[in-house]
Chains A and B, each alone.
Chain A
Amino acid sequence: MPKINSSAELEALRKDVLSSRDPLKPCIAVCTGSGCLALGAANLVTALREEIAEQGVESRIDIRETGCPGFCERGPLIVVYPDETCYLKVQPSDAKEVVQSVLEKTVIDRLLYVDPATGERLVHEMDIPFYKNQQRLLIGNNIKLDPTSIEDYLAVGGYAALEKVACRMKPEEVVALVKESGLRGRGGGGFPSGSKWEFTRNSPDPVKYVIVNADEGDPGAFMDRALLEGSPHAVLEGLIIGAYAIGAHHGYLYVRQEYPLAVENITLAIKKAEEYGFIGKNILGSGFDFEVEVAQGAGAFVCGEETALIRSLEGKAGEPKPRPPFPAVRGLWDKPTNINNVETWANIPLIINNGAAAFASIGTAGSKGTKIFSLVGKVKNTGLVEVPMGITLRDIVYKIGGGIPGDKKFKAVQTGGPAGGCMPESLLDMEVDFDQLTKAGSMMGSGGMIVLDEETCMVDFARFFLAFLADESCGKCVPCREGIQQMLTIVTDITQGKGREGDLDLLAQLTEVSGASLCALGKGAPNPVLSTMKHFRDEYEAHIAGRCPSFSCKELIAFYIDPDKCQACTSCARKCPATAIEGGKNQIHVVDQAKCTKCGSCLEACPPRFGAVKRISGEPLPPPLPKDARTVARGSK
């Protein structure tokens, strides 16, 4: 591979890459991100390749295995170029038809997205409401890239930003540009990235480090994963530019070991970038040297906290260090260190290429650019969404997310990861940015967004996050280790019907102690409790009174069969995994409460026209019918 030594050589290479490609040649881009892989995308790729081989049309159709474009709910998905026809939920059995349609330039109607509002079949990604309402500056490229191909990245303008910076800009100018763009850290803190770079740059020690924080650990969040898996060179290019601006010659990419494909793709990306000379000595002839290493985390959530990450990189236990001193002054091996999250780094090439003003034109006064969220939970279109800062929660949940499945009622949306907060219906029209979310008692976090419907118990939801944090606390300081555990004990008791008067006051007092924690994990730990107590205090009070309003906490509910409605169809008894339903032909069925595991199978099994199975919470259970009174009284025929 020829090493690129100058701007001119890079442009020549790019021309070579582009001229060797025919933009009109059909190409089937198959998402092989982790989501679609889990849905069988690898089998689909095999089937497509076999079909193409069988028809002997290898020279006429390309296949590209890409990263995640975001619509995970409808995977495995493919986009057929050059027409950019988007097919969803494509199965290996569809391969023959897909290949045929590509050759015949036809469209397979049944694999298109059907707009639930109009019933219309939509051909292109950009027509689908899920995509139409997004602004995909970062993940929009994913479907166009084979992440293992640096040529694909060059074909979409990759490494032009690095060339501009290394060959034509002074490091101070780069820092100034990033400051001017208003970019804030995407990992959760929202600290202005340019200022962070400047602190590190201005630290007197000549040895400095840059780090990519890819220890994404929020439950249900996969933004960084999709970027690393799908567009690793964009992250790498951002990192190299940052290193140049800050004056670092060594960088680390700290990625969690649970992301094998991300590790594989970024490791390969580094190797390819080294071969072309984008990493190494005298990058693009600029005289700037830079090396990158991949380090794998070992499954500790707290290592996403920057000082714990640094300690982990140093080979020590992943415990946060007190700040100050901040990593910008004393970080990795006591040297000035700049850590940014994957998404922050990925924004850098955009800012360099399009200019600070273009970047700052998107978003709100205090938060610029786009933000990727992983939209999950009780929402129709789950997946990865990239939206301009300032979009409302309502637009994300309803326009992009398509609303709540099964016509259930919206209850809340949770953002910010385990230490984030829940926002109720009344806050749906809030503009999503760093400051508004914090004001609402939640936070941006790294971009997790969980939608909850009326069936989610908010007390149990808070309990889930407390349990997560109790497990993931490093255990060093008392307010975090003991405080979370105590809150968890109290909230668990409440969900189990053992709540007492005064528990809510005690919880409120405990949240104050958390403020004395060493790091953000402990300080943020009470947020799930605080925000749910603020907006859903009635649910806490109901639990203490013995009732779970969402019929979700098993200790507080019972399943009951209404003898007036039971038609002895035996559906429930056949479905019950605990054989807890007594009954038989012509016998009114009765739940044996001692055996019942409260799984809810009977409720699902009971035909809606009977509607005999009921959930009861907070009220006395009617006594079971005496055995001799259980014969079904059928109406006269």
Chain B
Amino acid sequence: MSEIVLQIDGQEVTVQEGATILEAAQSLGIEIPTLCHHHKLEPYGGCRVCSVEVESRGRASVVAACLYPAEDGLVVTTKTEKLSRIRKSLVEMMMAHAPDSEPLLALAKEYGADKDRFKRNQSFCIHCGLCVRYCSEVKKKHALGFIDRGAKKRICFIPEIASKECWKCKECFPLCPTSALQASFVLTKSLTFGGEGEE
């Protein structure tokens, strides 16, 4: 493993090859907001609130800090007006679905987001994928997954697996930044496997 030197917010930092911008920033004590990131899970890059600006080989772009690998000579900026505008809008778009989510409310406060800026669609789920990924990556049970795509994409418990596995686990519940997961579970339970498997 070779060492990589990059610059974040004007500070030079050395990290091991394979580290992400987020990890490099954390080693400097620079805080980058995250939402779908979890230390036990593979980086996902879904919420994009960790977006930062990078300049590499003369090209500037906005990338997700949780995913983007540290590169030699990379110049990263984590706080700009543009990034604040992007993070604010992202939070506002998610709040159209989950206006009372605590992590979102905290981010909204930081970036001055208005939860009513976009038309309300209270589906609650913000597709962070924490539940889906935790169940497959940590528990290796695959009891829930995403179905459909685009705006119609949603999380869904797989009744055949959920009826056997979920009632004794429920470790994904506290991960959910909204109340969508619990609601989806209760719905699946009542519709498909009733009291089956209960203690």
Q: Which residues of A contact B (CB under 8 A)?
A: 300, 302, 317, 322, 324-325, 470-479, 481-486, 489, 509-510, 512-513, 515-518
A300-B149 Cα distance, complex, nearest whole Å = 9
Instruction: Verify B93–A475 contact, CB threshold 8 A.
Output: no
Contact among B62, B69, B94 for A482, CB-based, below 8 A: B94
Instruction: Verify B86–A477 contact, CB threshold 8 A.
Output: no
A475-B155 Cα distance, complex, nearest whole Å = 11
Contacts of B85 in A (CB 8 A): 509, 512-513
For B48, B94, B129, the residue with the greatest tally of chain A CB atoms inside 10 Å of its CB is B48
* Interface residue tally on B, bucketed by range: 20 to 34
Instruction: Verify B146–A518 contact, CB threshold 8 A.
Output: no
Given A471-B150, A475-B148, also A482-B96 (CB < 8 A): yes
Which applies to chain A's interface (DSSP): helix, strand, loop or mixed?
helix
Contacts of A325 in B (CB 8 A): 69
Contact among A475, A486, A510 for B153, CB-based, below 8 A: A475
Instruction: Verify A512–B86 contact, CB threshold 8 A.
Output: yes
Instruction: Verify B86–A513 contact, CB threshold 8 A.
Output: yes
Instruction: Verify B151–A475 contact, CB threshold 8 A.
Output: yes
Instruction: Verify B86–A322 contact, CB threshold 8 A.
Output: no
Instruction: Verify A324–B69 contact, CB threshold 8 A.
Output: yes
- In the complex, 12 of the A-B residue pairs with CB atoms within 8 angstroms, ordered by the A residue number, are A300-B149, A322-B68, A470-B151, A472-B149, A476-B127, A477-B46, A478-B47, A479-B48, A479-B86, A512-B89, A513-B86, A517-B48
Is B139's CB within 8 Å of the partner chain A? Answer: no
Closest beta carbon of chain B to A506's beta carbon, Å? 8
**Smallest CB gap from B93: residue in A:** A482
A513-B62 Cα distance, complex, nearest whole Å = 10
A483-B89, A486-B118, A512-B89 provided; 20 other pairs, C-beta below 8 A?
A: A471-B151, A472-B149, A475-B146, A475-B152, A476-B46, A476-B127, A477-B47, A478-B90, A478-B127, A481-B150, A484-B150, A485-B151, A486-B96, A489-B119, A513-B85, A513-B90, A515-B61, A516-B62, A516-B64, A518-B64
Closest beta carbon of chain A to B78's beta carbon, Å? 13
A476-B146 Cα distance, complex, nearest whole Å = 10
Contact among B45, B127, B151 for A322, CB-based, below 8 A: B45
**Smallest CB gap from A472: residue in B:** B150
A517-B64 Cα distance, complex, nearest whole Å = 9
Contacts of B67 in A (CB 8 A): 322
Instruction: Verify B119–A473 contact, CB threshold 8 A.
Output: no
Q: Which positions 40-62 of chain B face chain A at CB distance < 8 Å?
A: 45-48, 51, 61-62
Contacts of A484 in B (CB 8 A): 150-151
Is B82's CB within 8 Å of the partner chain A? Answer: yes
Instruction: Verify A509–B62 contact, CB threshold 8 A.
Output: no
A512-B82 Cα distance, complex, nearest whole Å = 8
Instruction: Verify A477–B93 contact, CB threshold 8 A.
Output: no
Instruction: Verify A515–B149 contact, CB threshold 8 A.
Output: no
A470-B150 Cα distance, complex, nearest whole Å = 6
Instruction: Verify B146–A477 contact, CB threshold 8 A.
Output: no
Q: Mark B71-106, 1 if CB is under 8 A from A, else 0.
A: 100000000001001100110011010000000000
Is B162's CB within 8 Å of the partner chain A? Answer: no
Instruction: Verify B146–A317 contact, CB threshold 8 A.
Output: yes
Contacts of B126 in A (CB 8 A): 478
Contacts of A317 in B (CB 8 A): 146
Contacts of B64 in A (CB 8 A): 322, 516, 518
**Smallest CB gap from A482: residue in B:** B93
Given A471-B150, A515-B86, also A483-B45 (CB < 8 A): no
Contact among A474, A478, A512 for B93, CB-based, below 8 A: A478
Total inter-chain residue pairs, C-beta < 8 Å: 95
Closest beta carbon of chain A to B83's beta carbon, Å? 9
Q: Mark B141-166, 1 if CB is under 8 A from A, else 0.
A: 00000101111110000000000000
Q: Which positions 13-62 of chain B face chain A at CB distance < 8 Å?
A: 45-48, 51, 61-62
Contacts of B152 in A (CB 8 A): 475
Closest beta carbon of chain A to B172's beta carbon, Å? 18
Q: Which residues of B contact A (CB under 8 A)?
A: 45-48, 51, 61-62, 64, 67-69, 71, 82, 85-86, 89-90, 93-94, 96, 118-119, 126-127, 129, 146, 148-153
Given A322-B67, A476-B127, also A486-B149 (CB < 8 A): no
Instruction: Verify A513–B89 contact, CB threshold 8 A.
Output: yes
Contacts of B118 in A (CB 8 A): 486, 489
A593-B46 Cα distance, complex, nearest whole Å = 47
A474-B51 Cα distance, complex, nearest whole Å = 19
A500-B154 Cα distance, complex, nearest whole Å = 31
A596-B75 Cα distance, complex, nearest whole Å = 61
Instruction: Verify B153–A481 contact, CB threshold 8 A.
Output: yes
A322-B51 Cα distance, complex, nearest whole Å = 13
Closest beta carbon of chain B to A319's beta carbon, Å? 8
Contacts of A478 in B (CB 8 A): 46-48, 90, 93-94, 126-127
A555-B105 Cα distance, complex, nearest whole Å = 38
A484-B118 Cα distance, complex, nearest whole Å = 12
Contacts of B146 in A (CB 8 A): 317, 475
For B71, B85, B89, B129, the residue with the greatest tally of chain A CB atoms inside 10 Å of its CB is B89
**Smallest CB gap from A475: residue in B:** B153
For A476, A509, A513, A516, the residue with the greatest tally of chain B CB atoms inside 10 Å of its CB is A516
Contact among B48, B69, B94, B150 for A516, CB-based, below 8 A: B48
Contacts of A473 in B (CB 8 A): 149-151
9 closest A-B pairs by beta carbon, nearest first, are A475-B153, A482-B93, A473-B150, A516-B51, A322-B67, A513-B89, A485-B151, A516-B48, A475-B149
**Smallest CB gap from B51: residue in A:** A516
Contacts of B68 in A (CB 8 A): 322, 324
Instruction: Verify A515–B46 contact, CB threshold 8 A.
Output: no
A489-B82 Cα distance, complex, nearest whole Å = 24
A484-B149 Cα distance, complex, nearest whole Å = 13
**Smallest CB gap from B71: residue in A:** A324
A531-B82 Cα distance, complex, nearest whole Å = 21
**Smallest CB gap from B87: residue in A:** A516
**Smallest CB gap from B56: residue in A:** A324
A235-B70 Cα distance, complex, nearest whole Å = 38
**Smallest CB gap from B90: residue in A:** A478
Instruction: Verify B94–A474 contact, CB threshold 8 A.
Output: no
**Smallest CB gap from A317: residue in B:** B146
Given A510-B89, A518-B64, also A477-B48 (CB < 8 A): yes
A300-B150 Cα distance, complex, nearest whole Å = 11
**Smallest CB gap from B83: residue in A:** A516
Instruction: Verify B119–A481 contact, CB threshold 8 A.
Output: no
Closest beta carbon of chain B to A482's beta carbon, Å? 4
**Smallest CB gap from A510: residue in B:** B89
A474-B94 Cα distance, complex, nearest whole Å = 17
Closest beta carbon of chain A to B19's beta carbon, Å? 13
Given A475-B151, A478-B126, also A483-B46 (CB < 8 A): no
Contacts of B86 in A (CB 8 A): 479, 512-513, 515-516
A473-B62 Cα distance, complex, nearest whole Å = 19
A453-B68 Cα distance, complex, nearest whole Å = 44
For A476, A477, A485, the residue with the greatest tally of chain B CB atoms inside 10 Å of its CB is A476
Instruction: Verify A475–B127 contact, CB threshold 8 A.
Output: yes
Contacts of A510 in B (CB 8 A): 89
Instruction: Verify A509–B148 contact, CB threshold 8 A.
Output: no
Closest beta carbon of chain B to A474's beta carbon, Å? 5
Contacts of A513 in B (CB 8 A): 85-86, 89-90, 93
